[in-house]
Amino acid sequence: MNFDFDTILDRRGTGSLKWDYPARRLNAPEALPMWVADMDFAAPPAVTDALARRLAHGAFGYASFPESVREAVAVWMAGRFGWNIRPEWISIAPGVVPSLYAGIRALTRPGDGVIIQTPVYPPFFSAVEATGRRLVKNPLRFENGRWTMDFGGLERLIDERTRTIVFCSPHNPVGRVWSEEELGRLAEICLERDLSVISDEIHGDLVFRGRRHIPFASLGPEVAQRTITLAAPSKTFNIAGLAASLGIAQNRAHREAFRREFALTGWELPNIFGLTAMEAAYRSGGPWLDALLEYLEAGADQMDRFFADRLTPLRFFKPEGTYLALIDGRGLGLDPAAWNDFLLRKAGVYLNDGAAFGEELTGFSRLNFACPHAVLDEALSRLERALGGIR
């Protein structure tokens, strides 16, 4: 089947955070927004058709979390990752970020240490701090352009009040799809040292050729017992605005605690459009996703070549998964504020400031390449022109 990723969708005036923010808040209406992690593609036809049918029904009263949605989730996880989960392990949530907060509250007490591996998605920091837990950083290592986990450092950090890690797999923003060996080593440490895990796998569907996403909880029954997995169709199928995500826990006490934390905020009933889209995506979105991954990877390859050939001294790091790539701007010799200013005001592209993910990424930026290839071409030529102006 052929899917269209080339048509440019005009998202201005549609209440899109990605497009509104640079235009309204930064006074840069012409800048290409390549920052927050959503895609400039329409959701799969299977999803838009299902939503249209649901809309045509006309009654939008309170939703339940139907068995058919849980089944669709379980079939997807088994089919894509060989991960066998039971429908009753699955909880619905309004997003992975709220689930990070709920998961941390469920597994730890105020004052406990919670480990994160920096640089990482900014809400990992705020979820630990805002819940009154102690932020314990186990920075990733960066060697020869590749990021890896520091297992020795992790073992040293674990103590009697630091018993949980919030894990990002695949990792945003460094783009690693962790190998079986790396996951196995992390699992060993968690078992030996009795560490519980909140595994944010929102990018799990988005992995490129030659890589395989392995759900952390699928590594074995003891690992599953200590893991709450956070997953969602939102990144994969571009339906983040429909606010429906998943918390999956085999451990009954963990899932009850997780649900209780949501109940304590007063949130209980999901959004019917989110559920409709989730079920359609997981039941019928596979062929679209396979085509999307080819398209995304072709775009990343195109950027990789262009940066190497024409944008030195900037460096582009092709990710193993996700549609987010790091760019190292330090070779230009600008200070970090001037580098950000160069991107937005001189080149006319709006990327995430690397420093928002941790001090390790000062002087880097994160580029979202989930857009038509013609837009990537435009962004690359803008960068080349602006670079010509200062080289």
Ligand X SMILES: Cc1ncc(COP(=O)(O)O)c(C=O)c1O
Give me the residues that bind ligand X (CB under 6 A), please: 37, 95-97, 121, 168, 172, 200, 202, 232, 234, 240, 245
In a 10 Å sphere around its CB, with 0-12 CB exposed, 13-18 middle and 19+ buried, how is residue 329 labelled?
buried
Least spacing, CB of residue 120 vs ligand X, in Å: 8
Query: In terms of CB distance, is 367 or 387 closer to ligand X?
Result: 367
CB of 205 to ligand X, least distance (A): 13
Angle between helix 272-284 and helix 45-57 axes, rounded to 10 deg: 140
- Cα(120)–Cα(369) distance, integer angstroms: 18
Query: From the CA atom positions of the chain, what is the Rg in Å?
Result: 21
Query: Please, where are the H alpha helices in 131-179?
Result: 151-157
In the complex with ligand X, the residue whose CB is nearer, 262 or 342, is 262
Least CB distance to ligand X at residue 64 (A):
21
Question: Residue 353 CB, nearest distance to ligand X (Å)?
Answer: 15
Please state the closest distance from residue 107 (CB atom) to ligand X, in A: 17
Closer CB to ligand X, 231 or 314, in the complex: 231
Nearest CA to 105 out of 127, 138, 136 is that of: 127
- Residue in this structure with the two tokens 């920091």, named with its chain if needed: 125
CB of 59 to ligand X, least distance (A): 27
- Residue number, 96 or 219, with CB nearest to ligand X: 96
Give 196 or 234: the residue with its C-beta nearer to ligand X: 234
Residue 220: half-sphere exposure toward Cβ, Cα within 13 Å? 11
Q: Which is nearer to ligand X, 126 or 225 (CB)?
A: 126
Closest approach, Cβ 194 to ligand X, in A, equals: 25
With contact defined as beta carbons under 8 Å apart, do 273 and 51 qualify? yes
In angstroms, give the least distance from the CB of 176 to ligand X.
12
Q: How far is the CB of 200 from ligand X (least distance, A)?
A: 5
Residue keyed to tokens 């400031």: 353
Please give the structure tokens belonging to residue 44. Answer: 């799969």
* 244: Cα within 13 Å, side-chain hemisphere: 28
> Measured from the CB of residue 232, what is the shortest distance to ligand X in angstroms?
5
Contacts of 5 by beta carbon, 8 Å cutoff, 6+ apart: 41, 291, 292, 295, 372, 373
Start-to-end CA distance of the chain, whole Å, equals 45
Q: Would you say 205 and 318 are in contact if contact means Cβ atoms under 8 Å apart?
A: no
- Of the pair 43, 383, the CB lying nearest ligand X is at 43
Any long-range contacts for 47-51 (C-beta under 8 Å, 24+ apart)? 47/237, 47/239, 47/277, 47/280, 47/281, 47/285, 49/280, 50/276, 50/277, 50/279, 50/280, 51/273, 51/276, 51/277, 51/280
* C-beta closer to ligand X: residue 245 or 340: 245
Q: If phi over 0 gives left and psi between -120 and 50 gives alpha, with beta otherwise, what is residue 142?
A: beta
Closest residue to ligand X using C-beta atoms:
95
Q: How far is CA 159 from CA 100, 115, 118, 183, 248, in A?
A: 22, 11, 19, 21, 26
Specify the pairing of strand 113-116 against strand 162-168. Answer: parallel
Select 39 or 347, whichever has its Cβ closest to ligand X.
Answer: 39
Beta-carbon-side half-sphere exposure of residue 321 (alpha carbons within 13 Å): 23
Q: Quick one: 37 or 375, whose CB is closer to ligand X? A: 37
